[in-house]
Structure 1
Amino acid sequence: MNIAFDMSFTQSASDKRGIGEYTRNLIETITKLDNQNSYFYFYPSINQENTSIEGHLNYFLDKNSIDIFHITSPFEFIANSYPQIYRFNEIKVVVTLYDLIPLLYSNIYLTNETKENYMKTLNFIRSCELVFAISETTKNDAITYANIDPQKIVVIMGGISEKFRVKKNFKLNLLNNKYGITKPYILFSGGIEFRKNLRRFLEAFAKLPHLINRYQIVFFNHLNNFEILQINNLAAEYNIKENIVITGFLSIDELIDIYNSAELFAFPSLYEGFGLPVLEAMACGVPVLTSNNSSLKEIAGEAAYTVNPENVEEISTGLEILLTNQQLRKKLKSLGLQNVKKYNWESVGRRVINAFNQLEQITINKKFVTHKDSSINHIYIKEKKIYETVSDLIKLNNKDFLYALYKEILNREPDQYGFERHMYNLSKGISKITLLSKVLLSEEAKLLFSNTYFIQINNHTILSKIATMLSYNNKEFISASYEEFLNRKPSLSELELYNLKLTDENSKILLLVSIINSTEFKELMHR
């Protein structure tokens, strides 16, 4: 099967937060484990108009003959203001559902303007073939509050990267000097978002005057200037501003070191769909204080000190007990290290792959039952040749053509200058085939063609195919060029003629350009 992941989350703040971390780990694991299916990645541009993005999505799905489209963060899907199932025709759509927090706390998270699209997206999720829930809590919420069919929901949980581990040797002084950490510290994950419960946590810490001078509070999330100002202002209300350290976004190595040297990890969130930071802290041998609700109770079990997150006194008591009871910290450290063994990405990846394969089987069975006289080519679609891809490209409007052309050959979106220049040339009558030739002859394209990476990924783009063809010997290259661009084999005379002319990689690219500009190729484009 051809399975595609929507990468819209990379265009938002989620890229450097929980959803981004979760999705990257999931995709990396799936692609390592699965050598039966082919995987593709749809990267929309947030700067494009919705209609243009939809055009790119349709082109992407059609070109790569996608069987399953996995929307990794449905509320951030930007190929439309909200996704609509009918646009995908026979393609099976699955989604990852992290939580329903905006629905559960709608008075906090949803305005009159945003509620309509949120509810429409929920309707879309209900219509998908599969919903991957990241916890039993999320599954139960989806059934109870969103009326999603339980038969469609697969609980896949989450994993913890093997990088998160107890470290005995690391450069603590360098890290402390870099971020101004001068005392033992409590690690806190989360900014000013309502559910992270920052005010109650700071108030709880401020109730421990005998401990305030001994500990700092370290925030390690990616925070903007407004969030940093709000944290400092809130801390100042409780006269603990001097205790606050904000590192900003950390590299994975720095994050692991920060975890390892913490006295305690505090995560008294009001609600979580999974709560990955709890497992990260446990894997690094840090005792955890977290909430006795939602998925946090589910994943922490007996391996954390749990509190009612709405009770400041309870949070304060928990902090005091953990900071002063070394024996309890030692016990929780041991229990935490055992607990995290239950959460590994390989198990998560296999659950998802199994669900994909079962979905394929259901699709095949349905086709045999309801369409006995029709073939099942939707499942086994022949890969397109380059001339077919080019034919699809030139049928697009000018804007969509440029975006698709850059993706196909340069593996990126057009920069503003290049886009405006090419749009101007197209408006003045320059043909799309001429523009295609210019891009193929560009220095940027030549550098990419010589990069073996694009041979290895084999993602069926024009770039990947040409890079592969350039690695062939002369006669193999000529034969492949004719097959890909003219849909026929070269005659013996053509083979011998061009074999004499090919002296290096540049001459091979010139051959491709001459084929593209031939009458035969242009006639093929108009059939």
Structure 2
Amino acid sequence: MRVLFDHQSFSGARFGGVARYFYDLMHNLKYHQEVEVKLSLLFSNNEYLKNADVKKVFPFSYFLGYGPTNALFSHLNRANSAFQITRHNYDLFHPTYFNDYFMTFLGKTPYVITHHDTIPEKFSTQYAELDGFDKAYKKRVLDKAARIIAVSENTKNDLIDIFQVAPEKVAVIHHSTHFATYKPAEDFDIITPERYLLYVGNRDNYKNFDVFLRAIAPILYKQPDLHLICAGSHGFTDVEQKLFQETGVSQQVQHQEIQNDDALYRIYQKAVAFVYPSLYEGFGIPILEAFACGCPVALSDRSCFPEVARNAALYFNPDDTENIAFEVEKLIDNAELRLNLVKKGYQRLKDFSPENTAKKTLEVYKSVLGK
């Protein structure tokens, strides 16, 4: 079987859950499911592809500035994808995002699309800056797909509710993490405070970071040796710096850039706990990353989180600062509870593997092709 993936999730992304998902999927389809994988990508600074043999790409410098340079190479990559699609030397197409440029060139070749979340549809009125494709535009792409992969039952239910997708058209295939078998270099370490809570990824709007920060500020104040590390994403904004000053925690909150998987693994591994206060997610790969690294987890009780973590996490109401503080402080102060959650996290992780994700995805492909 020959499957073509396109450029969309890799053009401008060095890191990120969607790019990681597609990289792991392609790798495991190729090496564990004997699928001939093609990726229509020429230029990318994506870290997952840098030393991989799934696809050799050309890195580029940001000579026009970050945004304009990314836009330029994205257009070049799209032109290459369009050319590769027109060649029709594949059995099935799997776009890595929702731009419908491929429909002009695809002909009768079927495509499968993965839907990660419905956050733009659910929060567009609350957070105007959330970008995303128009609902009708996205529905057209979903309707014409041969099958849709949803990354959780929660996301499948959203697809049915928001886009009126037929339930039988949607296959639920959970995300996974390569951290389940990953071993960082033994001599690799990062400099961190002795005790810290860990927050990973973007901190904007529905991520609920400001509410979380206000909730734990009294805990940080009472425990001056405890810190909060925000890993990945961009550095702190002026608004965030002002929030830290107002709450009196400026000296206990720091941003940590993540340059590679070794650094990400270590920062989970050394944390007192990983806290995920988001109001909504399609899946939440950082949960699995924390499990794999032996890091206790505290989660919002919303969306897919209970589905993913089950009894391997501590839950709180993300709208209630007192409840957030109560549960997080309980986790900080109770070593036995942390150890118990780590054990349950390792156990829960067994239900998620990149090999299993690839195997189930291949079953979807076969159902489309009648194999």
Q: TM-score range by the shorter chain?
A: 0.7 to 0.9
Tell me which of 86, 107, 116 is aligned to 1:98.
116
The corresponding residue for 1:28 is 27
Q: Which moved more, 1:65-74 or 1:128-137?
A: 65-74
3-state SS of paired residue (2:357): helix
Tell me which of 176, 197, 201 is aligned to 2:212.
201
The corresponding residue for 1:283 is 292
- C-alpha separation in 2, matches of 1:160 and 1:114: 26
State the shift of 1:109 in Å.
4.5
State the shift of 1:204 in Å.
0.9
Q: Deviations over 1:398-438 (max 9, x none)?
A: xxxxxxxxxxxxxxxxxxxxxxxxxxxxxxxxxxxxxxxxx
The structure-2 alpha-carbon separation of the partners of 1:354 and 1:187, relative to structure 1 and needing over 3 Å to count, comes to same
The structure-2 alpha-carbon separation of the partners of 1:323 and 1:252, relative to structure 1 and needing over 3 Å to count, comes to same
> Would the aligned equivalents of 1:220 and 1:248 in 2 still touch at CA under 8 Å?
yes
Tell me which of 350, 358, 380 is aligned to 2:367.
358
The corresponding residue for 2:150 is 133
Say which structure, 1 or 2, has more relative contact order (CA 8 Å, 6+ apart).
2
The corresponding residue for 1:253 is 262
- C-alpha separation in 2, matches of 1:242 and 1:253: 26
Structure 1 position 318 matched with structure 2 position 336 = no
The structure-2 alpha-carbon separation of the partners of 1:291 and 1:165, relative to structure 1 and needing over 3 Å to count, comes to farther
> Would the aligned equivalents of 1:2 and 1:64 in 2 still touch at CA under 8 Å?
no
Amino acid at match of 2:202: G
State the shift of 1:203 in Å.
0.6
The corresponding residue for 1:47 is 72
Q: Which moved more, 1:134-143 or 1:55-64?
A: 55-64
> Would the aligned equivalents of 1:84 and 1:124 in 2 still touch at CA under 8 Å?
no
What percentage of residue pairs aligned between the two structures are identical? 24
The structure-2 alpha-carbon separation of the partners of 1:86 and 1:167, relative to structure 1 and needing over 3 Å to count, comes to closer
- Bigger helix fraction: 1
Structure 1 position 184 matched with structure 2 position 169 = no
3-state SS of paired residue (1:107): coil
The corresponding residue for 1:38 is 36
- C-alpha separation in 2, matches of 1:332 and 1:348: 24
Q: Deviations over 1:225-275 (max 9, x none)?
A: 5x4444333222211111112111231111111111111111111111111
Where in structure 2 are there 5+ consecutive unaligned residues?
A: 44-70
3-state SS of paired residue (2:3): strand
Where in structure 1 are there 5+ consecutive unaligned residues?
A: 363-527
Q: Aligned runs of 1:14-25 on 2, under 5 Å? A: 15-25=14-24
Q: TM-score, normalization: structure 2?
A: 0.85
The corresponding residue for 1:217 is 228
- C-alpha separation in 2, matches of 1:101 and 1:215: 32
3-state SS of paired residue (1:186): strand
> Would the aligned equivalents of 1:164 and 1:284 in 2 still touch at CA under 8 Å?
no
Amino acid at match of 2:350: K
Report the aligned-residue RMSD.
Answer: 2.6
The corresponding residue for 2:138 is 121
- C-alpha separation in 2, matches of 1:188 and 1:198: 9
Q: Deviations over 1:51-90 (max 9, x none)?
A: x87654442123252321101222xx3xxxx446454211
- Which is greater in Rg? 1
- C-alpha separation in 2, matches of 1:64 and 1:234: 54
The structure-2 alpha-carbon separation of the partners of 1:165 and 1:213, relative to structure 1 and needing over 3 Å to count, comes to farther
3-state SS of paired residue (2:37): strand
> Would the aligned equivalents of 2:212 and 2:277 in 1 still touch at CA under 8 Å?
yes
- C-alpha separation in 1, matches of 2:283 and 2:210: 22
3-state SS of paired residue (1:90): coil
3-state SS of paired residue (2:319): coil
Q: Which moved more, 1:257-266 or 1:353-362?
A: 353-362
- C-alpha separation in 1, matches of 2:134 and 2:220: 47
> Would the aligned equivalents of 1:288 and 1:305 in 2 still touch at CA under 8 Å?
yes
Aligned residues: 344
3-state SS of paired residue (1:8): coil
3-state SS of paired residue (1:92): coil
State the shift of 1:290 in Å.
0.5
- C-alpha separation in 2, matches of 1:169 and 1:263: 21
- C-alpha separation in 2, matches of 1:166 and 1:318: 31
- C-alpha separation in 2, matches of 1:190 and 1:345: 21
Q: Which moved more, 1:55-64 or 1:4-13?
A: 55-64
- C-alpha separation in 2, matches of 1:144 and 1:359: 24
